[in-house]
A and B are shown apart, each in its own frame.
Chain A
Amino acid sequence: MMLYALRNVTQRYADRVVLDIDQLEIEEGRIHALLGPNGAGKTTLLNVLGFLEAPTTGAMFFRGQPVEASRAAMLHLRRQVVLVDQHPIMFSTSVRSNIEFGLKIRKMEKAERQRVVDEVLETVGLRQFKLARAHELSGGETQRLALARALALSPRVLLCDEPTASVDAENQAVVSGLLQQINAARGTTIIFTTHDRLQAASLAQHTLVLEGGRLAATTYENSYACIWDSSGNGDLRCTLQGRVEIPSPSPPACQPTGSGRIYIDPEKISLSRIDDQGKSNQGVTGTIVLLMAEGEKIRVVVNIGVLMVVLMDRSSYREKHPLVGETVALRLSADAITLLAAPAP
Chain B
Amino acid sequence: MSFFLESFSAALRLVGSLDPELLTIVRVSLSVSCIATVFAALIGIPAGFAIAYGQLPGKRILITILNTLLALPTVVIGLFVYTFISRRGIFGPLDLLYTQKAMIIGQFILIVPLIAALTVAAVSRVDERYRKTAKTLGADTWQTALVVVREGRFGIGAAVISAFGRVISEIGISMMLGGNIKGFTRTMTTAMALEYDKGSFTLAVALGLVLMALSLGMNVLFNLVQGRSAR
Segment of B33-41, B101-109, B129-137 in the binding face: B129-137
- Please provide the chain B residues from 85 to 143 with a CB less than 8 Å away from any CB of chain A in the complex: 127, 129-130, 132-141, 143
Question: Does B198 sit within 8 A of A, measured CB to CB?
Answer: no
Question: Does B150 sit within 8 A of A, measured CB to CB?
Answer: yes
Q: Is the CB of B141 within 8 A of A89?
A: no
- Nearest CB of chain A from residue B178's CB, rounded to whole Å: 41
Query: Residue B151 contacts which of A83, A92, A150 (CB distance < 8 angstroms)?
Result: A92
Question: Does A96 sit within 8 A of B, measured CB to CB?
Answer: no
- Nearest CB of chain A from residue B134's CB, rounded to whole Å: 8
Q: Which residues of B contact A82 (CB under 8 A)?
A: 136-137
Q: Which residues of B contact A81 (CB under 8 A)?
A: 136
Q: Is the CB of A105 within 8 A of B138?
A: yes
Question: Does B209 sit within 8 A of A, measured CB to CB?
Answer: no
Can you list, as one digit per residue, whether each of A90-102 has a CB less than 8 Å from chain B (1) or not (0)?
Answer: 0110000000011
Q: Is the CB of B135 within 8 A of A52?
A: yes
Q: Is the CB of A102 within 8 A of B137?
A: yes
Query: Residue A85 contacts which of B133, B140, B141, B150 (CB distance < 8 angstroms)?
Result: B133
Q: Is the CB of B139 within 8 A of A52?
A: no
Q: Is the CB of B132 within 8 A of A52?
A: yes
- The bracket for how many chain A residues form the interface is 20 to 34
Question: Does A214 sit within 8 A of B, measured CB to CB?
Answer: no
Question: Does A217 sit within 8 A of B, measured CB to CB?
Answer: no
A252 to B27, CA, bound (A): 87
Segment of A58-66, A71-79, A274-282, A297-305 in the binding face: A71-79
Q: Which residues of A contact B136 (CB under 8 A)?
A: 50, 52, 78, 81-83
Question: Does A149 sit within 8 A of B, measured CB to CB?
Answer: yes
Q: Is the CB of A89 within 8 A of B138?
A: no
Can you list, as one digit per residue, whether each of A134-159 has a CB less than 8 Å from chain B (1) or not (0)?
Answer: 01000000000000011001000000
Q: Which residues of B contact A101 (CB under 8 A)?
A: 134, 137, 139
Q: Which residues of A contact B141 (CB under 8 A)?
A: 71
- Nearest CB of chain A from residue B224's CB, rounded to whole Å: 16
A150 to B143, CA, bound (A): 17
A81 to B140, CA, bound (A): 14
- Nearest CB of chain A from residue B155's CB, rounded to whole Å: 12
Q: Which residues of B contact A71 (CB under 8 A)?
A: 141
Q: Which residues of A contact B134 (CB under 8 A)?
A: 101
Known pairs A78-B138, A135-B231; A105 contacts B133 (CB<8 A): no
Q: Which residues of B contact A153 (CB under 8 A)?
A: 137-138
Q: Is the CB of A102 within 8 A of B132?
A: no
A32 to B127, CA, bound (A): 29
Question: Does A30 sit within 8 A of B, measured CB to CB?
Answer: no
Question: Does B147 sit within 8 A of A, measured CB to CB?
Answer: yes
A153 to B138, CA, bound (A): 9
From A106, which residue of chain B is reached at the shortest CB distance?
B138
Q: Which residues of B contact A149 (CB under 8 A)?
A: 137
- Nearest CB of chain B from residue A104's CB, rounded to whole Å: 9
Can you list, as one digit per residue, whether each of B135-177 has a CB less than 8 Å from chain A (1) or not (0)?
Answer: 1111111010001001100000000000000000000000000
Known: A83-B136, A91-B147. 17 other contacts (CB 8 A): A52-B135, A71-B141, A78-B136, A79-B138, A82-B136, A82-B137, A85-B132, A87-B129, A88-B133, A89-B127, A89-B130, A91-B151, A101-B137, A101-B139, A149-B137, A150-B137, A153-B138
* Leading 9 A-B pairs by shortest Cβ distance: A102-B137, A89-B129, A79-B138, A83-B136, A105-B138, A102-B138, A82-B136, A75-B140, A101-B137
A selection of 21 A-B contacts at a CB cut-off of 8 Å is A50-B136, A71-B141, A75-B138, A78-B136, A78-B138, A79-B138, A82-B137, A83-B132, A85-B133, A88-B129, A89-B127, A89-B129, A89-B133, A91-B130, A91-B133, A91-B147, A91-B150, A101-B137, A101-B139, A105-B138, A105-B143
